Chains A and B, each alone.
Chain A
Amino acid sequence: MKRLEQIPVKGEGRGNPLARVFDELTNFCRSRSLFILHYCTGCGAIELPPAMTSRFDMERLGIQPMVTPRQADILLITGYVSIKTLKRVILTYEQMGAPKYVIGICSCTVNGGMYWQSYATAKRLDEYMPVDLYIAGCMPRPEAVIEGMRHLMRRIENGEARGWEDYYRRYDHYLGNQQALFGDDWQTPTDVIAEARHYGLLGEQTLGPHTELLQQVQRPLEALEMRLGHGPEHES
């Protein structure tokens, strides 16, 4: 018997009869072409070169490294995330183009790992951004990394890897956790609420007490001052 949540309330109202075929084709292409942005925070990074180079060759699965968040599909967090690092990880994640996927490699992203008692380490990555896949281990071998990638590819092909929508739908939850860690004046350059509105992903939990706090303290972005030569700290 089907569970109640699985029964669709209403079909997606798309007039084009080929829309379904087109969606499946798109999902197939998405699953076969994954550009990874590896944010190498910890020891797990050492397992990636063998996964990419001649021994295990991830390119045969269509996975290749990219260097900027705009170009990438997968954000690969390899190891422990300190609180200072987490700010950069969130900035990077918000700049990536959807559909985007986050993979947490190593135990440290799952539960803090050996840094469980550290005051400066974020314990669970999925409290701050939706994680599509964890690859546990300390550290996972390249075989495990590739097996994890194949698992993600299957989920993308079936249209199941939709963690990025969750970030828009439950932004208040994620923002609350971020504020608890970084303080009440935390803000990022990306206007997530406006994006959620633009893509029609505004859920019941997108707005809440934490986004209200954000809108109170939010300052508009200012352009960096352009100047030649050394900064003021070098003047003497």
Chain B
Amino acid sequence: MEGLRLFSELVLMPLVAFVVGMAMVLMMRRIAARLQRRIGPPLLQPLYDIAKLYAKTTQVSHGLIHDIGIVMAVGGYVAAEILLPVPGMNGIADKADLITLMYVMMVPSLGLALGVGQCANPNGSIGIARALTAMLGYDIPFVIVVFGVAWHFGSTDLIDIIGRQQAAGPGGWGIVQMPLLAIAGLWAMHASLGKQPFEIYVAPAEIATGPMVEMGGKFLGGLFVMQCFQFYTQAVLYVALFLGGGSHWIDLLVKAFAVVAIPMTIAFLFPRYRTEDMLRILWKWPVMLGLLGLAFVM
């Protein structure tokens, strides 16, 4: 019985994450449209895009590593979903902790690097070099933030962190207890979502969408799926660390969508930083805020 429950959770958690992630992608595109005084895409547009890409007749593969790279990119996030506790489902979150989750969340970028490497397109290589440089930029504030939160709650167990915040009520939420770390975390999250002004590795007008340049059909579809997972993972992790998790699903979804909406609203007002400018700003302000927040926590 226990095994069946675990199995159903392992199937359901990524599935729910995918559906919610598609809604988040839709929200992002709608926000962009409204900011530009457009109407924006219809309700099921992310689904149409993914279905269409998987239904393409021609699927141009550049080799085995190209295929495996995409599987790693999606699989890394699928693994992250089952480590993220949501209301009613803990998956295997009690067997792993925040550190494991952080490692797993880096797998997609590395998978993408592998896959793009075999495409042998110079734009793709530049794109992936920039993506890994960007990872170097946002992971340092992110690690500081995670360390601060873990120190504050005296645990790296996400179930434990959420439980303590919910027991203490809104006054005990991470965002009230550690506001500086919360700001640094939001900043790092914005950068890791890869939207403007931190869009250096996509840069459509400059390096032709970088890592995605040789991706067509199901490969691009896989990356679209990955983007859905990415939005969901980042948002739910932020909610778990700073906004007391979700006591029930509506609570969690409202918080998660609000968390994604903030960086997206900022994003579409800005153009793009250069790589060195992005690293400079990420290593200066979020790191400084994070270290200051860490000092208060300790």
Enumerate chain A interface residues (CB-CB to B < 8 A): 25-26, 29-30, 32-33, 53-54, 57, 59-60, 62, 66-68, 70-71, 73, 96-99, 195, 199
Enumerate chain B interface residues (CB-CB to A < 8 A): 29, 33, 36-42, 44-45, 47-49, 51-53, 55-60, 204-205, 208-209, 212-217, 220
Contacts of B40 in A (CB 8 A): 57, 59-60
From A69, which residue of chain B is reached at the shortest CB distance? B216
CA distance A54 to B52 in the complex (A): 25
A63–chain B nearest beta-carbon distance, Å? 10
Instruction: Pick from A30, A70, A96: contact of B215, CB below 8 A.
Output: A70
Q: Are A53 and B214 in contact (CB under 8 A)?
A: no
Contacts of A71 in B (CB 8 A): 209, 212, 215-216, 220
Given contacts A33-B53, A62-B45, A97-B56, 15 further A-B contacts (CB under 8 A): A26-B55, A29-B47, A29-B52, A29-B55, A32-B42, A32-B44, A33-B52, A53-B36, A59-B41, A62-B42, A67-B208, A71-B212, A71-B215, A97-B59, A97-B216
Q: Are A57 and B38 in contact (CB under 8 A)?
A: yes
Is the contact region of chain B dominated by helix, strand, or loop, or is it mixed?
loop
9 contacts between A and B (CB under 8 A): A32-B42, A32-B44, A60-B40, A67-B208, A68-B213, A70-B216, A71-B212, A73-B52, A98-B58
Instruction: Pick from B37, B42, B57: contact of A60, CB below 8 A.
Output: B42
Q: Are B56 and A98 in contact (CB under 8 A)?
A: yes
Instruction: Pick from A57, A70, A96, A195: contact of B39, CB below 8 A.
Output: A57
Contacts of B39 in A (CB 8 A): 57, 59-60
Q: Are A57 and B33 in contact (CB under 8 A)?
A: yes
CA distance A99 to B57 in the complex (A): 6
Report the number of A-B residue pairs with Cβ-Cβ less than 8 Å: 87
Contacts of B208 in A (CB 8 A): 67-68
Q: Are A30 and B55 in contact (CB under 8 A)?
A: yes
Most buried by A among B37, B48, B209, B212: B48
Instruction: Pick from A54, A60, A67, A195: contact of B36, CB below 8 A.
Output: A54
Given known contacts A71-B212, A199-B57, A54 and B45 CB-to-CB distance under 8 angstroms = no
A101–chain B nearest beta-carbon distance, Å? 12
CA distance A195 to B60 in the complex (A): 11
From B206, which residue of chain A is reached at the shortest CB distance? A67
Q: Are B204 and A67 in contact (CB under 8 A)?
A: yes
From B219, which residue of chain A is reached at the shortest CB distance? A70
Most buried by B among A26, A60, A68, A199: A68
CA distance A97 to B58 in the complex (A): 5
From A58, which residue of chain B is reached at the shortest CB distance? B38
Given known contacts A57-B33, A59-B33, A68-B214, A33 and B56 CB-to-CB distance under 8 angstroms = no
Contacts of B42 in A (CB 8 A): 32, 60, 62
Contacts of B55 in A (CB 8 A): 26, 29-30
From B217, which residue of chain A is reached at the shortest CB distance? A97
Contacts of B59 in A (CB 8 A): 97
B36–chain A nearest beta-carbon distance, Å? 6
Q: Are A59 and B38 in contact (CB under 8 A)?
A: yes
Q: Are B45 and A32 in contact (CB under 8 A)?
A: yes
From B121, which residue of chain A is reached at the shortest CB distance? A68
Contacts of A97 in B (CB 8 A): 56-60, 216-217
B141–chain A nearest beta-carbon distance, Å? 30
From A63, which residue of chain B is reached at the shortest CB distance? B41
Contacts of A54 in B (CB 8 A): 36-38
CA distance A62 to B29 in the complex (A): 11
Given known contacts A33-B49, A57-B33, A97-B216, A68 and B209 CB-to-CB distance under 8 angstroms = yes
Contacts of A26 in B (CB 8 A): 51-52, 55
Given known contacts A53-B36, A68-B208, A59 and B29 CB-to-CB distance under 8 angstroms = yes
Contacts of B48 in A (CB 8 A): 29, 32-33, 62
Q: Are A62 and B58 in contact (CB under 8 A)?
A: no
Contacts of B58 in A (CB 8 A): 96-98, 195, 199
Given known contacts A32-B45, A97-B56, A60 and B214 CB-to-CB distance under 8 angstroms = no
A114–chain B nearest beta-carbon distance, Å? 30
From B209, which residue of chain A is reached at the shortest CB distance? A67
A113–chain B nearest beta-carbon distance, Å? 29
